[in-house]
Amino acid sequence: MESILIIDDDDQLRLSFERLLTQEGYNVLTAASGEAGLKMAESQRPDLVVLDIRLPGKSGIEVFDLLHEMDPKLPVIIMTAYGTTDMAIEAIRKGAFEYIFKPFDIPHMLETIQNALKARRLMQSKVGIGASPDLELADALIGKSRQMQEVYKAIGRVAPTDATVLIRGESGTGKELVARAIYHYSNRAGRPFMVINCVAIPETLLESELFGYERGAFTGAVNRKIGKIEQANTGTVFLDEIGDMPPSIQAKILRLLEEKQIERLGGRDPIKVDVRIIAATNRDLEKAIEGGRFREDLYFRLKVVTIWLPPLRERRSDIPLLVEYYIRNVSKELGVQAPSVTPSAMDYLLNYDWPGNVRELANTIHKLLIINKGIPIEREDVIKALEERPSKAITFSDTEEAVRKWISSVLKGGEEGVYEEIMDQFSRLVIAEALRICNGNKSQAARLLGLSRPTLHSKIEKYKLTTATQVY
Q: Give 90-153 as a DSSP string.
A: HHHHHT-SEEEESSPPHHHHHHHHHHHHHHHHHHHSPPEEES-TT---SSEEE--SHHHHHHHH
- Structure confidence at residue 373 as a pLDDT band (50, 70, 90): confident
Give 320-342 pLDDT, tens digit per residue.
999 999 999 888 888 888 999 99
CA distances from 265 to 30, 202, 207, 252, 261 (A): 37, 16, 8, 11, 13
Give 132-143 pLDDT, tens digit per residue.
666 666 688 999
How far is C-alpha 34 from the chain's CA centre? Answer: 30
Regarding the domain delimited by 128-310, which CATH topology (the fold level of the hierarchy) does it fall under? Rossmann fold (3.40.50)
Handedness of CA 105, 110, 113, 119 (dihedral sign): negative
What does the alpha-carbon distance between residue 309 and residue 173 come to, in Å, rounded to a whole number?
6
The SS3 assignment for 326 reads helix
CATH superfamily entry for domain 402-462: Homeodomain-like (1.10.10.60)
**Structural element, H or E, at residue 457:** helix 453-462
Instruction: Look up the pTM and report it.
Output: 0.76
- Per-residue model confidence (pLDDT) at position 134: 62
DSSP state of 24: T
Quick check: 394 pLDDT over 70? no
What does the alpha-carbon distance between residue 422 and residue 10 come to, in Å, rounded to a whole number?
43
What does the alpha-carbon distance between residue 151 and residue 147 come to, in Å, rounded to a whole number?
7
- Residue 263, number of CB atoms within 10 A of its CB: 18
Domain range 3-124, its CATH number among 3.60.15.10, 3.40.50.2300, 3.30.499.10, 1.20.20.10: 3.40.50.2300
CA distances from 300 to 187, 199, 442 (A): 24, 22, 45
Residue ranges per structural domain of the chain: 3-124, 128-310, 313-387, 402-462
What does the alpha-carbon distance between residue 78 and residue 89 come to, in Å, rounded to a whole number?
9
- The CATH architecture assigned to 313-387 reads Orthogonal Bundle (1.10)
> Are the CB atoms for 107 and 458 separated by under 8 Å?
yes
* Backbone torsions φ then ψ of 174, nearest 5 degrees: 105, 30
Give 421-467 pLDDT, tens digit per residue.
788 788 888 888 888 777 677 777 887 787 777 778 778 877 777 64
Q: Indicate if 128-310 has the same CATH topology as 3-124.
A: yes
Q: Which of 109, 88, 108, 86 is nearest to 99 (CA)?
A: 88
Give 61-91 pLDDT, tens digit per residue.
999 999 999 998 899 999 988 667 788 888 8
